[in-house]
Structure 1
Amino acid sequence: MAIPVIGLFVYANINPFHFSIPHIIFNIKIEDKPLFELKIFSIDGQPVKTEHSMMIIPDGGIELIKELDLIIIPGWDDFNHKPEPILIDSLNWAYKTGIRIVGLCYGTYALAYAGLLDHKKAATHWMAEQDFSTRFPQIQLDRDALYVEDQRIVTSAGTGAALDCCLYLVREIYNAQIANKVSRVMVIPPHREGGQAQFIEQPVAKSSQDAQINLLLDFLRKNLATQHQIEGLAERAHMTRRTFTRHFKKATGMTLVEWLNTEKIKLSCELLETTNLPIEKITELSGFNNTVSFRKNFRDKYGTSPQAWKKAFGIGSDKQ
């Protein structure tokens, strides 16, 4: 496949960190080969001064949009800043021609002002939820999601979720194997589902109980094939069942059963994409009781069968 061309939009007073996340991800080389061609563009192609007095020199102006396969708006400088008409027109033209468009963190505002999110689902940083919902009541804001894709428009929550969103895009464009290689280069977890909570209350473990949940999650990911009982896990975390249930939901945004099912499906996808194992073995390694349960859960999540997924995204598929 041809190398996808990614356009990264820059604007006055852009936050350097918001810019650096997609800039790093989409510049990574695997085995010394680039995965993407990254083009930085601004309205007029002139250098842009960041909010911390750094200068970013773009590759060109708004005309570069015609060369792109995907456009990223990394953050936004002001909730009251409506994008310039030429940017709004160009984004709408790009969307109509089939280009995927991404708003990271407050970048969702730019897409909302452009009308691209009308009657669609979207995500943004939790601190902007009330303001965003008031300004754009026609948009279905998901207040918990790390990232959301609806009809080729992708939006994410805060800067940490922007990493998850970018890895999601790598996975969508290539496959789990490539996304995992990128995550290893970045030394970050390979994949978090977009529907996981934004960790509003506990972004960092603040007590021994929160730390125990974090350790338990690592244990569970390494032992998905084992059948787990909530009483045993609560004891392992040195908590009562009630305390464990409360802290687990706060840390993950899910019940134990929901979280385990999500992780099992994620592991099954990686095995389908990166191995030639039979469905029965993948069922076993992913922790499902039987292939009937595995197929049902997989179809509920992705609307297709494991066999169809393997054919589309597995070793030797066109997406490799």
Structure 2
Amino acid sequence: MHTVAVLALDGVVPFDLSAPIDVFGWARLPDGREAYRVRVCSVREEVRAGPFTIRAPYGLELLAEADTIVLPGVEDPPEVLPPGVTEALCAAAANGTRIASVCVGAFLFAATGLLDGLRATTHWFAAPDLAARYPRVTVDPQVLYVDNGQFLTSAGAAAALDMCLHLVRRDHGSAVAAQAARMAVMPLEREGGQAQFIVHDLPPAPAGATMEPLLRWMEEHCDRDLALEEIAARAGMSTRTLNRRFREQTGTTPVRWLHRARVRRAQHLLETTSYSVERIAGQAGFGSPTAFRERFRRVVGTSPQAYRRAFRAG
């Protein structure tokens, strides 16, 4: 039987811990036998998990026996792992053990050095921090999970369900994975490359920056066909000076900032109204529904209709 070791460190996120336990625990072979033996291990017997504590029946020695190791996220990922953890994970990796992380568990994974030179993902909110802290890791915040073969990383805890079902399918085929998916009341067909649904914040200007009033005006009027010349005139400067100062204070250009503002307005309308895509395209300042769909997919990673299905209230 395939052994899955879930490594729970202090501050473990409860849902990050439960996702792999549930999926692997639900998996049954065609003859009804359990497909996986799931065990929780840690560096100490009691582990803090949000509002409660859990008991970990196994120590780090379990990692040497496991076929798969799962690293759930923790509330405040340390840059240096507890004594013995890095060594145990690297030794397991050297023996061919499969290792997967859930959400910000990617920080723990990256701290071992095992992700150096590889593509990885984490929750989109934490992706910039992961990339800054571990520059040797290629962070992709747009996908649900990344499968590098032996090493896998997933985005938010819900995406961990997708990753675990993907592993069940890899190990035992689609029929076993489909049954586990039915037990989880979730679809089996979501692929790792499907985009995370991200609310793209507008690049801010520093507090008190001279561009701040202009940014507010641009956001309020992003439904209009604002030419660079009109924006520069509003700011009282040449287009060349505008581009330079805009990039200095926001890190991007006026045109790109405007595209982001329009996409964000479109996201809000998709979430809160039943307006047609054509109407939203006009109210968000896109020249045509086609241009809207193309820009929205490029920035958000999915279609407006798919985004609405996922996030429409009510």
TM beyond 0.5: yes
**Counterpart residue number, 2:129:** 131
Contact 1:126-1:143 within 8 A present in 2 as well:
yes
How far, CA to CA, are the matches of 1:190 and 1:67 in structure 2?
A: 29
Report the CA distance shift for 1:125/1:176 in structure 2 as closer, same or farther (over 3 A). same
Task: Count residues with an aligned counterpart.
Answer: 228
1:131 offset after TM fit, Å? 1.1
**Alignment deviations for residues 174-209 of structure 1 (CA, whole Å, 9 cap, x no partner):** 111211111111110112111111011369961345
Deviates more, 1:77-86 or 1:173-182: 77-86
> Equivalent residues in 2 for 1:222-237 (5 A)?
none
The counterpart of 1:158, out of the listed 141, 156, 159, is 156
Query: Does residue 1:253 correspond to 2:252, yes or no?
Result: no
Contact 2:11-2:76 within 8 A present in 1 as well:
no
**Counterpart residue number, 1:7:** 5
How far, CA to CA, are the matches of 2:75 and 2:104 in structure 1?
A: 8
Contact 2:146-2:154 within 8 A present in 1 as well:
yes
**Alignment deviations for residues 110-130 of structure 1 (CA, whole Å, 9 cap, x no partner):** 111100100111001111122
Query: Does residue 1:35 correspond to 2:35, yes or no?
Result: yes
Report the CA distance shift for 1:204/1:115 in structure 2 as closer, same or farther (over 3 A). farther
The counterpart of 1:66, out of the listed 38, 47, 64, is 64
Q: TM-score, normalised by structure 2?
A: 0.65
SS of corresponding position for 1:154: strand
SS of corresponding position for 2:25: coil
Q: Any unmatched runs of 5+ in structure 1?
A: 214-230, 232-239, 260-320
Larger radius of gyration: 2
Query: Does residue 1:49 correspond to 2:42, yes or no?
Result: no
> Equivalent residues in 2 for 1:294-313 (5 A)?
none
Contact 1:147-1:155 within 8 A present in 2 as well:
yes
The counterpart of 2:272, out of the listed 203, 207, 224, is 207
1:82 offset after TM fit, Å? 2.0
Report the CA distance shift for 1:151/1:185 in structure 2 as closer, same or farther (over 3 A). closer
**Alignment deviations for residues 280-299 of structure 1 (CA, whole Å, 9 cap, x no partner):** xxxxxxxxxxxxxxxxxxxx
Report the CA distance shift for 1:241/1:165 in structure 2 as closer, same or farther (over 3 A). same
How far, CA to CA, are the matches of 2:111 and 2:160 in structure 1?
A: 20
Q: Which amino acid aligns with 1:25?
A: V
How far, CA to CA, are the matches of 2:195 and 2:162 in structure 1?
A: 12
How far, CA to CA, are the matches of 1:145 and 1:128 in structure 2?
A: 13
**Counterpart residue number, 1:24:** 22
Report the CA distance shift for 1:199/1:251 in structure 2 as closer, same or farther (over 3 A). farther
Q: Which amino acid aligns with 1:186?
A: A
Contact 2:78-2:108 within 8 A present in 1 as well:
no
How far, CA to CA, are the matches of 2:268 and 2:117 in structure 1?
A: 30
**Counterpart residue number, 2:192:** 194
**Alignment deviations for residues 24-56 of structure 1 (CA, whole Å, 9 cap, x no partner):** 111115374312100110113x12221212x22
How far, CA to CA, are the matches of 2:86 and 2:94 in structure 1?
A: 12
**Alignment deviations for residues 141-180 of structure 1 (CA, whole Å, 9 cap, x no partner):** 1121111122411001111211111111111111112111
Identity of aligned residues (%): 32
1:246 offset after TM fit, Å? 5.0
**Counterpart residue number, 2:165:** 167
RMSD value, Cα: 2.9
Deviates more, 1:194-203 or 1:173-182: 194-203
Report the CA distance shift for 1:203/1:73 in structure 2 as closer, same or farther (over 3 A). farther
How far, CA to CA, are the matches of 2:299 and 2:26 in structure 1?
A: 31
How far, CA to CA, are the matches of 1:25 and 1:100 in structure 2?
A: 16
**Counterpart residue number, 1:96:** 94
SS of corresponding position for 2:22: helix
Deviating 4+ runs (over 3 angstroms)? 29-32, 202-205, 207-210
Report the CA distance shift for 1:23/1:206 in structure 2 as closer, same or farther (over 3 A). same
**Counterpart residue number, 1:235:** none
How far, CA to CA, are the matches of 1:204 and 1:188 in structure 2?
A: 27
The counterpart of 2:80, out of the listed 79, 82, 88, is 82
